[in-house]
Structure 1
Amino acid sequence: MEPVRFWLNGALVEEHDASPTTTLLDYLRRTLRQTGTKEGCAEGDCGACTVAVLDTEGPSSARWRSVNACLVLLPMVHGRHLVTVEGLRRDGVYHPVQDALARAMGSQCGYCTPGVVMSMFEACYRDDLDEDWQVDDQMCGNLCRCTGYRPIREAAQAIAGLAPDDHFARLAASQVPPAPALSYEAHGQRFFAPRSLEALFDILDAHPDHRLVTGATDLGLDVTKRRKRFPCLVSLENLSDLRIIEARTDGLTLGAGLTLADLELVTRRLLPPLSRMLRYFGARQIKNRATLGGNLANASPIGDTAPVLLALDASVIARSRQGERVIPVDAFFEGYRKTALRPGEIIARVDFPSTPTDARVGVYKVSKRRELDISAVCAAMRVRVGDDGVITEARIAYGGMAATPSRAHRVEALLVGRPFEAVTFEAAAPAIADDFQPIDDHRGSAWYRRTVAQNLLRGFFEETRSARFRPLPEAPSSTVQVEVAS
């Protein structure tokens, strides 16, 4: 077994004995005594632990990515370059992001400041920040309870896309090789990161007790909050076969290993409904790690991507040593956190058919906070309308309404064959109660969820009656609502 090797602020670090489930945050603070990176929540919400990793696996050139160190397992940085707040100052000169934050007086108690600085660090080298809302999106994963966000926002806007010709930019442009494969073992636990599908399936066959992982944004919570141990973790992060993007005249194929940050950017033009749902999926640090395949395999009833895939009639392509298998998303979710994947299968990619020209599409996420919150209800709807104004097809999908993301088949039946008019949607809305029996929990009561789902159906008609898709590039029709008594 080989050690974990990575570069921290330019210096090579080699580790032979740390548990594979040691988080990067714990390793930085407890082993390396790099305490500038803070722990606030240990679940990816506060951003105090933000660091930057040079990503050489994405669909574009190497670039710096902000990530939550509390959710990254130590072996996941094998072969990678990592920068923390301690490494920004070089040759006695502060980095532009440090200077900008100080000049804007964007720090008070200072606890959140290292994470804020590292999120700004990514923004400094991004070349796709064209609008102010994108800077807000970059910084939404960093909470501050004393300074107020105005000076932080002003500092971030001042350096966004600055791209100084410095050491960090030159390192990203220097053809850094991709991370090598890893086979690591310590304290009775193993971690594998193969670089080919053939090697992956060999590992899966040899270790039937394996747990697949890519971004670890969910599994990381098992480690930090539930103190779980995993005898064998197998990372899919280094598999280039899972990061394909193929646009065709008859549809679009997206690799399951693409991060949600990359997907949000790529699908802004190729598949706008998915891009808009991803806008409010989570913090930038989370989207830099989470993947499309992971969000589907997790099979959460409130996963934000699943309703979009259901509404757009997508298919999951599962792959094993025996070959590939097509699973319509309609048949993919079999129960609470249970999928149709068989032992030895992985999600390789997702296929989307081309959107019909007569289709009207809407996507919605309802949560108690606009940024950085889990859905109470999410929905995606696609309705086709003929030249005579009659609905010819309806695909109405919801998350948060049942044990799995599901379509509202009774509602759909009441829409098809009827005119695309307000009275049709008003008549169909009560059937939500026939399609779903949601539960009461801390995100909302059953009554609240049914009421919201009905209102989203009505709102979909109002939004698409004159335009087939909302023109706002930054808005996924995300709605913030607070439950009131019935």
Structure 2
Amino acid sequence: MTTIKVNGQSATLDGVPVHTTVLDWLRDRGLTGAKEGCAEGECGACSVLVARPGLETPTEWTAVNACLLPVASLDGQEIVTSEGLGKSNALHPVQQEMAVRGGSQCGFCTPGFVCSMAAEYYRPTRTATEEHEHEHGPNGFDLHALSGNLCRCTGYRPIRDAAYALGEPPTDDTLAARRSTPPPPPATTQLLVDGNEFLRPARLTEVLEVLAERPEARLVAGSTDAGVEVNIRGNRPPLVIAVDRLDELREFDFTATEVRIGAALTLTEIERRLAGRIPLLAQLFPQFASRLIRNGATIGGNLGTGSPIGDTPPALLALDAALVLASTRGERTIALADYFTGYRETLKAPDELIRTIVIPLPLAPMTAFHKIAKRRFDDISSVAVGYSVEVIDGTVREARIGLGGVAATPLRARATEDALTGQPWTERTVREAAAVLAAEGTPMDDHRASASYRSAMLGQSLLRFYAQHLAAEGVSA
């Protein structure tokens, strides 16, 4: 029997169609606080809380997009909806502050805001410090926790006011106390409904054996891409395999020579474990969609799609990353620069999966990630550029530049790298190299940007990178 705990009560998933989302399942049960606003994970109206393994405490309450996750992926796990936070006669502190500070008008988005705000409310490291007040508010609240929630009528100031008014959870708060015990482990699941099958194997070897027999299977972790395929494009793969909780895909190791990141770690988990030790990725994370998406999205998934506009490939290319691919035949390591072979085509065989991302150390001292998009946050890149440059005694010893959005695949800007390497790190060199960079790739016209705009942004990006590092050294351009 497959079950899920919702607001403290167990419910069965037996007979539920495999591609049913958490959102649709909840609403069918009468829990209609969560709404469908976009079905793409861009508005946050569907936000709910999931009990996940924590870094500082055994459990962390994590906000996720219920419109993207298949409910089968939460078999054996525990979620809380806006209805489970409080009642009309006993509001949760988040609900209370939203109410008294005018944080809701039509109310459509409010339950989603409440759940995302509650996840930050229960963040174990949220503390009021003068050091972080300028970025996290007077009570330590990080407003980026709400970056994936859109409000269409209230306006954001009263919502911010509600967030900044929250104190520490009271001692009798059951959800705060719940953090001290581990979350329930995901169940080993096998569902077959109406000809569609959902599997959650217990070990990586089992996944690889299934892939060897059925390479057409769809692997899912956070479902931030697969969920859109289901909702918007009507994609219904006959076999879905959940890999998000496999220990073998969740390793993290930071040594003197390399960093190894499991392909199923979420971007939020990676960000917290790295704690700024890879500055290039520290710049990338806040620009990658929203906190709601980063709570589910994985680097393995971002690379597995082979998309030319994924945000992680340009940064990882600049970091000279490699991938460990696994199958029943064994494991092999390939350079990310060789991984992409065509539009959404890669060297990964149908029966392989990405197990680990490897970043060599030491890092270059000058790095940056530039994302050009129509919105500052939570948008798809028109152009993305990752830089990693080492300058010794005024001369460029090594340069690596990763590009996204300017060709059928992410790519290294080899011609520009050659134009910089061995040359003096001067404005003249950079301007000449910027002209080379503007001609890299094969940019195209689409609804996000024209080809000429993309080319212009490439050249301007390198000039910006040069100016930023001069400024960091206290030198005026």
Normalising TM by the smaller chain, what interval?
over 0.9
Residue 187 in 1 paired to residue 191 in 2?
Answer: no
Residue 383 in 1 paired to residue 380 in 2?
Answer: no
The aligned residue for residue 380 of structure 2 is 374
The aligned residue for residue 453 of structure 2 is 448
The aligned residue for residue 459 of structure 1 is 464
Residue 19 in 1 paired to residue 17 in 2?
Answer: yes
Q: Deviations over 1:225-247 (max 9, x none)?
A: 11111110011112011111101
Deviation at 1:33, TM superposition (A): 1.7
Deviation at 1:127, TM superposition (A): 2.5
Residue 132 in 1 paired to residue 129 in 2?
Answer: no
Residue 407 in 1 paired to residue 405 in 2?
Answer: no
Residue 51 in 1 paired to residue 75 in 2?
Answer: no
Distance 1:194 1:62, change over 3 A: same
Deviation at 1:366, TM superposition (A): 1.2
Name the SS for the 2:233 alignment partner: coil
The aligned residue for residue 9 of structure 1 is 7
Asked whether the 8 Å contact 2:211–2:352 carries over to 1, the reply is no
Deviation at 1:447, TM superposition (A): 0.6
The aligned residue for residue 129 of structure 2 is none
- Which residue type is aligned with residue 136 of structure 2? D
Distance 1:97 1:256, change over 3 A: same
Distance 1:343 1:81, change over 3 A: same
The unaligned stretches of length 5 or more in structure 2 are 127-131
Moved more, 154-163 or 230-239: 154-163
Residue 355 in 1 paired to residue 353 in 2?
Answer: no
Name the SS for the 1:63 alignment partner: strand
How many residues of Structure 1 are paired with residues of Structure 2 in the alignment?
A: 464
Deviation at 1:151, TM superposition (A): 0.6
Asked whether the 8 Å contact 1:25–1:39 carries over to 2, the reply is yes
- Which residue type is aligned with residue 54 of structure 1? A
1-side partners of 2:363 and 2:289: how far apart?
29
1-side partners of 2:152 and 2:7: how far apart?
29
Residue 68 in 1 paired to residue 73 in 2?
Answer: no
Distance 1:344 1:208, change over 3 A: closer
Residue 143 in 1 paired to residue 146 in 2?
Answer: no
- Which residue type is aligned with residue 23 of structure 1? T
User: 2:271 pairs with 252, 255, 264, which one?
Assistant: 264
Distance 1:164 1:451, change over 3 A: farther
1-side partners of 2:26 and 2:404: how far apart?
37
Deviation at 1:219, TM superposition (A): 0.7
The aligned residue for residue 78 of structure 1 is 75
The aligned residue for residue 234 of structure 1 is 241
2-side partners of 1:235 and 1:426: how far apart?
48
1-side partners of 2:286 and 2:363: how far apart?
24
- Which residue type is aligned with residue 435 of structure 2? P
In the superposition, the TM-score normalised over structure 1's length comes to: 0.91
2-side partners of 1:127 and 1:15: how far apart?
31
User: 1:439 pairs with 437, 444, 447, which one?
Assistant: 444
Q: Deviations over 1:148-169 (max 9, x none)?
A: 0001011112227647541112
The aligned residue for residue 115 of structure 2 is 118
User: 1:106 pairs with 103, 107, 110, which one?
Assistant: 103
2-side partners of 1:4 and 1:123: how far apart?
30
- Which residue type is aligned with residue 184 of structure 1? L
Asked whether the 8 Å contact 2:279–2:367 carries over to 1, the reply is no
Q: Deviations over 1:238-296 (max 9, x none)?
A: 20111111010112111111101111222233212112101110111111111111011
Name the SS for the 1:225 alignment partner: helix
Asked whether the 8 Å contact 1:58–1:243 carries over to 2, the reply is no
- Which residue type is aligned with residue 10 of structure 1? G
1-side partners of 2:445 and 2:2: how far apart?
45
Name the SS for the 2:359 alignment partner: strand
Deviation at 1:211, TM superposition (A): 1.2
The aligned residue for residue 39 of structure 1 is 36
Moved more, 288-297 or 132-141: 132-141
Deviation at 1:113, TM superposition (A): 0.5
Distance 1:398 1:105, change over 3 A: same
Name the SS for the 1:123 alignment partner: helix
Asked whether the 8 Å contact 2:439–2:455 carries over to 1, the reply is no
Deviation at 1:179, TM superposition (A): 1.2
Residue 398 in 1 paired to residue 395 in 2?
Answer: no
Deviation at 1:112, TM superposition (A): 0.7
Q: Deviations over 1:399-445 (max 9, x none)?
A: 11111111111111111111001110101111124322200111100
2-side partners of 1:280 and 1:120: how far apart?
20
User: 1:202 pairs with 197, 202, 209, which one?
Assistant: 209
The unaligned stretches of length 5 or more in structure 1 are 470-486
1-side partners of 2:388 and 2:22: how far apart?
42
- Which residue type is aligned with residue 211 of structure 1? R
The aligned residue for residue 93 of structure 1 is 90
2-side partners of 1:61 and 1:34: how far apart?
28
Name the SS for the 1:453 alignment partner: helix
Asked whether the 8 Å contact 2:406–2:454 carries over to 1, the reply is yes
- Which residue type is aligned with residue 378 of structure 2? L
The aligned residue for residue 430 of structure 1 is 435
Asked whether the 8 Å contact 2:264–2:300 carries over to 1, the reply is yes
2-side partners of 1:275 and 1:414: how far apart?
27
Asked whether the 8 Å contact 2:57–2:124 carries over to 1, the reply is no
1-side partners of 2:215 and 2:244: how far apart?
19
Deviation at 1:144, TM superposition (A): 0.6
User: 2:425 pairs with 420, 425, 433, which one?
Assistant: 420
Deviation at 1:57, TM superposition (A): 7.7
The aligned residue for residue 27 of structure 2 is 29
1-side partners of 2:352 and 2:76: how far apart?
27
1-side partners of 2:221 and 2:4: how far apart?
18
Distance 1:290 1:390, change over 3 A: same
Distance 1:356 1:209, change over 3 A: closer
- Which residue type is aligned with residue 243 of structure 1? R
The aligned residue for residue 168 of structure 1 is 175
